[in-house]
A and B are shown apart, each in its own frame.
Chain A
Amino acid sequence: MKMFVCIKYVPDTSEAEVKVNPDGVTVDSARFSFDINDADNYAVEESVLIKEAKEGDITVVSIGPKQSDVMIRMAMAKGCDQAVRIEDDRIATHDPLMVAKVLAGAIKGQEFDLVLTGCMASDDGHMSTGVALAEELGVSHASMVKKVELLDGKVRAHRELEGGLLEVVELELPAVLTIQTGINEPRYAPIRGIRLAQKKELKVVNLDELGVDPAVVGLDASKVVLEQLYIPEVESSAEFIEGEAEEKAEKLASILVKGGLV
């Protein structure tokens, strides 16, 4: 099994206050902690599990800054064999279609059986990159995969639909699978493993070195413009529901129903 796994270095904004920079199109990330995107972490684990079961070779592909090397080394400590990190600020990263073209540039021309990605990035959440990548590579795909079974020349993917229903599909290899969280239990990358992984190859390239024309993946090439980021007007602190106990219960019930929360 020759595999590629595409991963992204994302901020954890679950607790941090998010502020939009004066440029209006980026956020102040100085106080964020960064880590591998959650779903991508499961994709890495799945690739390593496949390698352990079937033998194979895994290449990590990531677009990101130098700081993300630690994430890549962790993936290599878990069992990935080599990595390509693309660092180039000419990429229109707000558009998943452009990102997919760059990732495809790192994979095209090489033999592979499977490309795994996370099904969604926790920062911009388009859920589009993996499926677009499959089209760029001209191979079949399945998204939101909760279980992978390898058959002879085929892969059986269990896709997670709304309401917990699984849709089982069979794809011809090679294929792209976008992996849903919960498919496995990602392992820990011990420091000694990370140190050993320093010996594995991590190639850092820009678009020119990758052989991707910057004009094809840049802001001008993208057909969408990120115009403005802003903080939505939401209750930043709790809304205290007042009244007698029963009244509070009734008010809460209608908030939950009207808000489409239940």
Chain B
Amino acid sequence: MGNILVLAEHRQGALRDISYEMMAIAPGLAQDMGGEVTVLLIGSGMDELAKKMAAFGSKVLVVDDPLFEDFNADKYQKVLSALIDDLKPAVVMTGHTAQGVDFIPALAVEKNLPLVAEVVSLEYADGTLKATRQLYSGKVNATVAFKPADTYLVTIREGVVEPPDASADGAVEKVESPLKDDLPYRSFVEYIEAEVGDVDITQSDILVAVGRGLKEDKNLPLIEELAKAIKADIAGSRAATDAGWIPHDRQVGTSGKSVKPKLYIAMGISGAFQHVAGMKGAKTVVAINKDPEAPIFTVADYAIVDDMFKVVPKLTEKLKELKG
């Protein structure tokens, strides 16, 4: 039987997006493998979240116990280990997230099961499960085939699919916790929110960077509004930090910081070699510059040749609209 066990992820009382996203991948795969999807929720006071997951139409198993008030890799490993023995799923699927990566590899070792991590797609054909994942920060794709095993472990990359509609009515079933007592060697202490205003651009996910094209600091609110709309941090080229528009510790380049955001939007930055050297680690680069010959376009994924002051206000407006 090719059943799939999806571990729904939640934190501080809310389901994480990856939980929904996995529901776009698991059902089709289960069908190909001739099995069904079961969602697993581990936590304390899970009724509401269980209902939400049930809306995807699959059965939801809930391990609801005060022992699981907070995420704990060791406890999760114990529960999964016991449930794999009980349910014998063909696939155990979790997010490739700070939770998933914290215990799945240990589970794989413990149960002597195969693991493919940070999977972007899965395919089952002729009795073989194959996963696609990426290497060299996305420059190379790899097809990895599982050798036959009782259970395959996969962690799914976030954001590779859109969550499906959730209007069904799946069953919710509580199961007793396989773990009876607290585990001694790891304990949760607390969550600490990131400090606001204390921005380290080397750690930013999204950066909007401005250069000489900003012209003067009275144009800065335009950029701040864009940054706010997409939860980005603001950085600058040397010209922008020199001019005092942007703090010096947010300078990108060989004499500033090396950054590696998922998205880098360069506006009014020509892209001198010394600047580009500091942002080459960015995954996706958007460049807006009125000079079609600006070297920044050679490293951009998306390019707009135009006056940033004409583009940015509309861009912000549209982004706000689309993101609701």
Do A and B interact? yes
Chain B 269-311: CB-based contact to A (< 8 A → 1; otherwise 0): 0000000000011001011000000000110111111110011
Are B206 and A262 within 8 A (Cβ)? yes
Asked if B117 and A256 sit within 8 Å, CB to CB, the answer is no
Q: Is the interface of B mostly helix, strand, loop or mixed?
A: mixed
Whether B98 contacts A160 by the Cβ 8 Å rule is: yes
Interface 1/0 per residue, A122-140 and B, CB below 8 Å: 1111111111101110001
Closest-CB distance, A1 to chain B (whole angstroms):
18
* Segment 216-258 of A: residues with Cβ below 8 Å from B: 222-232, 234-235, 237-241, 245-246, 248-250, 252-257
Instruction: Look across to chain B and name the residue whose beta carbon is closest to the beta carbon of A261.
Output: B263
Known: A132-B105, A256-B319. A230 touches B185 (CB 8 A): no
Most chain A beta carbons < 10 A, residue from B105, B188, B232: B105
Q: Which of A89-141 contact B (CB under 8 A)?
A: 94, 96-97, 100, 119, 122-132, 134-136, 140-141
Is the CB–CB distance between A126 and B98 below 8 Å? Answer: no
Greatest chain B CB density within 10 A among A18, A167, A257 is at A167
A260 to B263, CA, bound (A): 10
In the complex, A142 has a CB within 8 A of chain B: yes
Which B residues from 216 to 236 make CB contacts under 8 A with A?
Answer: 230-232
Q: Which single member of A11, A94, A127, A165 contacts B118 (CB below 8 Å)?
A: A127
The answer to whether B186 and A171 touch across the interface, beta carbons within 8 angstroms, is yes
Tell me the bound Cα distance from A160 to B101 in angstroms: 12
B binding-site residues for A, Cβ under 8 Å:
11, 16, 71-74, 96-99, 101-110, 113-118, 130, 134-147, 149, 158-160, 184-194, 200, 202-203, 206, 230-232, 262-263, 280-281, 284, 286-287, 297-298, 300-307, 310-315, 317-319, 321-323
Told that A143-B101, A238-B287 touch, could you supply 18 new A-B pairs with CB distance under 8 A? A119-B101, A123-B135, A127-B96, A127-B101, A132-B106, A135-B105, A158-B192, A162-B97, A166-B194, A169-B186, A170-B186, A181-B203, A222-B114, A239-B302, A245-B306, A245-B314, A259-B284, A261-B263
